[in-house]
Amino acid sequence: MKAEILTIGDEVLRGEIVDSNKALIASRLLQLDIECHYQSSVRDDPSDMRDAFLRGAARSDILLVTGGLGPTRDDLTTEVLAETFGRELEFDEASFEIIHAFFTRVGREMNETNRKQAYFPAGAEILENPVGTAPGFMIEEQGAVLVCMPGVPRELSLMLDEQVLPRIAEKVQGAGGASRVRARLLRTFGMGESSLEGELSDLARDGHAELAFRTSFPDNFLRVVARGASVADADTRIEEVVEAIRERIGDLIYGEGDDTLEAVAGRLLSEKGQTVAVAESCTGGLIAHRFTDVPGSSEYFLGGVVAYSNEAKHSLLGVPEDLLVEHGAVSEPVARAMAEGVRERFNADIGVATTGISGPGGGSEEKPVGLVYVGIAWSEATQGSDHSRVERFVFAVDRARHRVLTAQVGLDWVRRLLLGLELVGPSLLRSGGGSAPGSHAGMQPAKNFTPRSGAAGLDRAHETSGGN
């Protein structure tokens, strides 16, 4: 079956909001082995909307429309769709009562303008909206199924999963569709997109599974999609590919699905009964923010210090003044002292520190813009003996991405430390100095990572910003 997605709203065309609805719908359709052939957006303009409805009904089996179901004068989807296909608008008392009950439930008085949301094209199948005031509906025209849903992502997602997709699945089965599609998303950090492609170039080439690459700075995602006669068959094919990928790039994969690096690191801290504290200069509290973004992080995250000035580094973290004078704030000795200092002051098992020059100014020939030191210190309870590690990087990216990438390295080091892996980073951006790369006290070399001939490994040049 051929699907098309249409989003309606001036705010989408003007760039006032990010249109995430298309991606959401397309990914859900793929689970039913329905390919999205067309995606478009139109203004709240009747002539443009009418043209889009007619075009979609003529060339697609399913047209999924979002937006324009609200109570205001620019919400025109229902009226224009009914007019386009010569259907009268009919008032649905049951829907009106549900809308009224929604306002009662949230303690608000319903405006008379909301009454328009209870009108639908004649013959439409109404789709209830349990979390909003805009019901959806379905009609069939010219052999195509047209589905209209609210544009609010939360309302759309719930209606799509609970009401729309089950109805579409029935139609797919009725049309003789038999294959099932399954997908797995692997999240990686530390190797660029083209290097990943080179490393995995021979996988998923038999037609039973597909491997796609997507960059979301500073990570790269691998999506494995497989089709089978059943869900179990598709899952088996996916598992074979995922196992082969893990054998190739092992520790670069930090999570699957919706896992974030901070969630993975937090889960490991919790499982191992470890605690962490952070001392941040150039990242300005970003690592602490990401740790505390995870529900339940109070179990393992003890606190942090944003020590931007030299005085703060000395008074709050105990960095010796002579180190600051002799080596400067952006240096290996200071990063190490920050990591050890914050660990001691918070009585944490692990301390993470960052100090660098995010730019755009402030650099020199000796210490260029982009230079950063990442440090980590840990207790005997973590790896058998107290120890620390510092690495020097030069991240030649803009200020915002410099901070994001530095924070990602810090979080990844917590993950690697707790898994007993080598503390490495995006090697293209390493520029000498700091602790020597390789194994160190209490650490083991990265497991399951042996680059194939000609492929880039962690200690060879590769892209970290996702571009090629």
For 299-321, the pLDDT digits (tens) are 999 999 999 999 999 999 999 99
The answer, yes or no, to whether residue 186 has pLDDT greater than 60, is: yes
Distance, in Å, from the CA atom of 126 to the CA atom of 135, rounded to the nearest integer, reads: 7
The answer, yes or no, to whether residue 181 has pLDDT greater than 80, is: no
Q: What is the pLDDT of residues 34-87, one digit of tens each?
A: 889 999 999 999 999 999 999 999 999 999 999 999 999 999 999 999 999 999
| pLDDT over 70, % of the chain | 89
Predicted confidence band of residue 432 (pLDDT cuts 50, 70, 90): very low
Residue 361, classified by CB atoms within 10 Å of its CB into exposed (0-12), middle (13-18) or buried (19+), is exposed
pLDDT of 176 reads 53
Q: Beta strands 371-378 and 387-394: pairing type?
A: antiparallel
- E strands, 67-162, are 89-91, 119-121, 125-127, 136-141, 144-149
Which range has the worst mean pLDDT, 51-55, 153-157, 426-430, 442-446?
A: 442-446
pLDDT of 34 reads 87
pLDDT of 249 reads 92
pLDDT of 226 reads 87
Q: What are phi and psi of 237, to 5 degrees?
A: -65, -40
Distance, in Å, from the CA atom of 360 to the CA atom of 344, rounded to the nearest integer, reads: 33
pLDDT of 90 reads 97
Mean pLDDT, rounded, of the chain: 88
Mean pLDDT of 218-246: 90
Distance, in Å, from the CA atom of 454 to the CA atom of 196, rounded to the nearest integer, reads: 12
pLDDT of 286 reads 98
pLDDT of 177 reads 52
Q: Closest Cα to residue 418, out of 379, 457, 459, 375?
A: 379
Which range has the worst mean pLDDT, 170-174, 196-200, 292-296?
A: 170-174
Which range has the worst mean pLDDT, 199-208, 335-344, 364-373?
A: 199-208
Q: What is the pLDDT of residues 117-170, one digit of tens each?
A: 999 999 999 999 989 999 999 999 999 999 999 999 999 999 999 999 999 988
Degrees to nearest 5, angle at CA 448 with 255 and 392: 75
pTM, two decimals, is 0.72
Mean pLDDT of 193-211: 87
3-class DSSP state of 372: strand
Mean pLDDT of 261-274: 98
Q: Closest Cα to residue 37, out of 55, 17, 51?
A: 55
- In order of their start, the domains of the chain are 2-174 (3.40.980.10), 180-256 (3.30.70.2860), 261-429 (3.90.950.20)
